[in-house]
Amino acid sequence: MNLGTRKLLDRSFTALGIGSIVIMGLALLVVLAPIVSKGVGALVFRETIEHRKLLSTEFHRGDGRELEKEIALSNGYRQKAFDMLAVFDQELEQMTPERQEQYRESYDQVKTALRGLLGPLPGDTDPELARNRYGQTRWDKAEEKLRELLYEQKWDYSNPDVIAKPYDVSRAPGFAGTSLVRLFPYVEQNLDKMLLPEWTFYWGFITDSSIDAHFFGGIWPEIQGTLFLAIGAMLFAFPLGVIAAVYFTEYARDGFLTSMLRSANSTLAGVPSIVFGLFGLAFFINTLHVSESKSVLAGSLTLAIMILPTIIRASEEAILSVPKTYKEASLGLGSTKWNTIMTVILPAALPGILTGGVISLGRAAGETAPIIFTAAVSVGTAIGLGDVLSSPTPALSWNIYNLASEHEAAAQIRHVQYGMVLALVTVVLLLNLSAVILRARISKKLKG
């Protein structure tokens, strides 16, 4: 090959390497961008008057007198829409049965859409589910619902080679010649006056409990559950891991037994997370009976086993990176081995050990599979600190799965799901960030 081609190959090899790193960076961006941008939408959004009503009745929050004024204002505009419905109801009664039948179905659809938009119509019985007691609480959702009111979605099956596509048909022409025609332009033009949207920062998303299976309210029970589980796991795993690391670095002699222990450690690190869940179920719950069924305790123990190898490895590295001269100086001054470990080596290695601990804490908080059978429930209120030994808890990681895959109206509460994912990712990445900062400080300190 001539030199030119060899150089070209060399350059393209470099480009390949850099390209794959760029792709990794892009992948990180692509994953994080929607999570961050839409997750923020759970906290910062245009709330409608329905949201203020909800906060006032369910959480007793907000200025009651101000709210009453707003309700009166919006009811003025709503009443006109309701009047149109009433007029059409009278018209319907005077029609022939065939014409009544012709309108019935689409009229019901209009009413359902209007209920979704503004809450119960006059004359409706009080709905049982909270999701039906209020109209749209978010302006972006209200605009979607408005589309449902104005247009009917139909599916285009005309081309059998292509997957059917949806298209919209305006509802108004279907009511041509009746009084209801006026309703559609009226609602479209006056929706903002009926709902009075305002930008808000809903901090309650973090501190409130959820209402009606996460239709409204916040995610505090999940956040608290995640904290309980992760901290509980650390309580068990951290001391054990550090002591084991001290043994491996300072006491263990090279030999069969030590190498066995080491390979047990790496085996444990490689066990799939779902198998930890199976083990937690079979051992902690079905054999040891640490609790009657799922509990925070069982979940924490399972998570502790999972993060133990990470803590041991990180602590070992931290202890090994303490300069030998520290130890020799201490031993030379006549202190015992134990004393040297406790007063010289561990304090010097502490930042490194903490780094490992913090990363493991993040891993315990984010992991789902081990807690599915041992600790997590989908719906529930925040549990007290006294209940951790016996009762299960909702947790961020599990509820993200549950709301996204198993919730009966998963598509309607996307903002809550995004908010939860953002909360979890933020917690985990912040923990990792603090680990990075800790590590940078250590390397500076050890360099002197």
Partner 1 sequence: MQNSNGMIDDGASKQGRSSVFIVSARKRKLQKISQKSGEATLFLIASFVAIIVLFIFWFVARDAVPFFDSLHTFREFFTSSEWYPADDPPRFGALAIIYGSLMITVGSALIAVPMGILASICLSDILPFNVRQYVKPVIEMLAAIPSVAYGFFALVVFAPLLQNSGGPILMWAWWLIATPFLLLMVIVASELLTTSIAKGAMKKTAHLGLILILGALALLLLYFVGNHLQGLMIMSGTNALNVSIILSFMALPTIVSVSEDALQAVGRDLREGSYALGATRAETIIKTVLPAASSGILAAVILGIMRALGETMVVWMASGNSSHIPDPWFNYLESVRTLTATIAGDMGEADQVTGSARFHVLFAMGLILLIVSFVSNLISERIVVRQRKVLSGQ
Residue with tokens 């509980």: 232
Among 149, 354, 428, 442, binds partner 1 (CB under 8 A): 428
Q: How far is the CB of 435 from partner 1 (least distance, A)?
A: 9
Part of the chain binding partner 1 (CB under 8 A), chosen from 87-95, 135-143, 209-217, 306-314: 306-314
**Per CB under 8 A, which of residues 117..156 are in contact with partner 1?**
none
Beta bridge partners of 393: 376
Q: How far is the CB of 134 from partner 1 (least distance, A)?
A: 25
How is residue 412 written in tokens? 């309607």
Q: Is position 390 an interface residue for partner 1 (rule: CB under 8 A)?
A: no
**Per CB under 8 A, which of residues 12..71 are in contact with partner 1?**
12-21, 23-25, 27-28, 31-32, 34-35
Q: Which of 308, 322, 238, 294 is nearest to 266 (CA)?
A: 308
Q: Which of 253, 227, 195 is nearest to 74 (CA)?
A: 195
HSE (CB half, 13 Å, CA atoms) of 126? 0
How is residue 232 written in tokens? 């509980």
Q: Is position 417 an interface residue for partner 1 (rule: CB under 8 A)?
A: yes
Residue with tokens 């903490």: 354
Q: How far is the CB of 211 from partner 1 (least distance, A)?
A: 22
**Per CB under 8 A, which of residues 367..386 are in contact with partner 1?**
367-369, 372-373
Tell me, by CB under 8 A, how many residues bind partner 1.
93
What whole-number distance in Å separates Cα of residue 82 and Cα of residue 85? 5
Among 84, 194, 298, 312, binds partner 1 (CB under 8 A): 312
Part of the chain binding partner 1 (CB under 8 A), chosen from 2-10, 68-76, 113-121, 170-178: 2-10
Q: How far is the CB of 113 from partner 1 (least distance, A)?
A: 24
**Per CB under 8 A, which of residues 224..283 are in contact with partner 1?**
240, 243-244, 246-248, 251-252, 260-261, 263-279, 281-283
Part of the chain binding partner 1 (CB under 8 A), chosen from 6-14, 117-125, 190-198, 201-209: 6-14
Q: How far is the CB of 47 from partner 1 (least distance, A)?
A: 23
How is residue 311 written in tokens? 């803590």
Q: Is position 446 an interface residue for partner 1 (rule: CB under 8 A)?
A: no
Q: How far is the CB of 310 from partner 1 (least distance, A)?
A: 12
Specify the residue, 109 or 293, whose C-beta has the smaller distance to partner 1.
293
Q: How far is the CB of 83 from partner 1 (least distance, A)?
A: 41
**Per CB under 8 A, which of residues 323..362 are in contact with partner 1?**
336-338, 359, 362
Q: How far is the CB of 274 from partner 1 (least distance, A)?
A: 4
Specify the residue, 134 or 276, whose C-beta has the smaller distance to partner 1.
276
Burial class of residue 232 (count of CB atoms within 10 Å of its CB; 0-12, 13-18, 19+): buried
**Per CB under 8 A, which of residues 160..189 are in contact with partner 1?**
162-163
Could you give phi then psi for residue 376, rounded to 5 degrees? -95, 135
